[in-house]
Amino acid sequence: MVTLPCPFRRLRLALAIFAALFPVSLAAEEVTLFAAASLKTALDELADVYPGDTLHIAYGGSSSMTRQILQGAPAQLFISANQTWMDLLERDGILAQDSRIDLLGNRLALIAAPNNTAQVTPTPAFDLATSLSDGVLAMALVKAVPAGIYGREALVTLGVWDSVEGNVAQADNVRAALRLVATGEAPLGIVYATDLGAAPDVQLLGLFPADSHTPIRYPMALIDPVSPDARAVYEFLTSDTAWAVFEKNGFIRPAVQP
């Protein structure tokens, strides 16, 4: 279990006490949300229409964001792209009680660079290595970033991981992997289905079978201590207004199993 260093625990306790003693002086003008990079397009749109105080969003790989929160980064909410990293925060007592929910679901996609003529689709034992030729397969970090973890899991299930492992170009997050394909630096890549809207010239070759990897879930939680402003953002992100934006960007309900 990851344990938060004592100095950071004392810092959080001091901040909580200070907030209780001086609630007016700490009235927030900005709420900070840490979120998985794959949520950027949808959350940027929601931040523009959020009716409350300014919403500041920091994006990155779920693993790096988790480490930052464990080290005392001033996040007030967190949306991860998988359960494992949120589990670490929950076990260490960082999350506000009863605030964790599964907010969204997603699908995994095999994509090709704009001028690539590959016709391969992700099915059992598909010939991915031949389609790559001398090129690389862009993926998020396969041992740390959720999109990379899901992608490797899917390739193992379909029986092709061993044939392409040496040709994988690992990026810090899924949007960085998308850029490698969009610019043609990588002929093929694995990203979330929702990432396609951020690079319209990229080609969708196919969605991975839903049973080839762990279901993709985006848990959301408030970070303790909770301010009224952070609670308002939390409620906004679970509203029908927010869901309409998420759905438009290709996200699915977390209970949906395609």
**Mean per-residue pLDDT over the chain, rounded:** 89
Q: 93-142, pLDDT tens digit by residue?
A: 999 999 999 999 999 999 999 999 999 999 999 999 999 989 999 999 99
Q: Which CATH number fits domain 108-207: 2.60.40.10, 3.40.190.10, 3.20.20.150, 3.40.640.10?
A: 3.40.190.10
Rounded to the nearest 10 degrees, what angle do helices 240-248 and 40-49 cross at?
Answer: 140
**Separation CA 239–CA 92 (nearest Å):** 28
Domain boundaries of the chain, sorted by first residue: 6-105+217-248, 108-207
**Residues 113, 181: contact at Cβ < 8 Å?**
yes
38 is in an annotated binding site: yes
Instruction: Determine if residue 192 is labeled as part of a ligand binding site.
Output: yes
The strands making up 203-207's β-sheet, listed across from edge to edge, are 168-171, 137-140, 188-192, 108-112, 203-207
Which H helix or E strand runs over 219? strand 216-222
Q: Is 133 annotated as a binding residue?
A: no
C-alpha to C-alpha distance for 32 and 41, rounded to whole angstroms: 17
Would the annotation count 47 as a binding residue? no
* Percentage of the chain lying above the pLDDT 90 cut: 81
Is it true that 6-105+217-248 and 108-207 share their CATH fold?
Answer: yes
Q: What length does the chain have?
A: 258
Exposed / middle / buried, residue 257 (Cβ in 10 Å: 0-12, 13-18, 19+): exposed
Burial label, 127 (beta-carbon count in 10 A; 0-12, 13-18, 19+): exposed
- What radius of gyration do the chain's Cα atoms show? 19
Is the pLDDT at 218 greater than 60, yes or no?
yes
CATH class held by domain 6-105+217-248: alpha beta
The pLDDT of residue 167 is: 97
Give the residue among 89, 46, 63 at the shortest CA–CA distance from 249. 46
Token pair 């992100």 is found at 237
226 marked as binding residue: no
> Which residue in the block uniquely carries the two structure tokens 């690079």?
199
Q: Which pLDDT tens digit goes with each residue over 30-64? A: 899 999 999 999 999 999 999 877 899 999 989 99
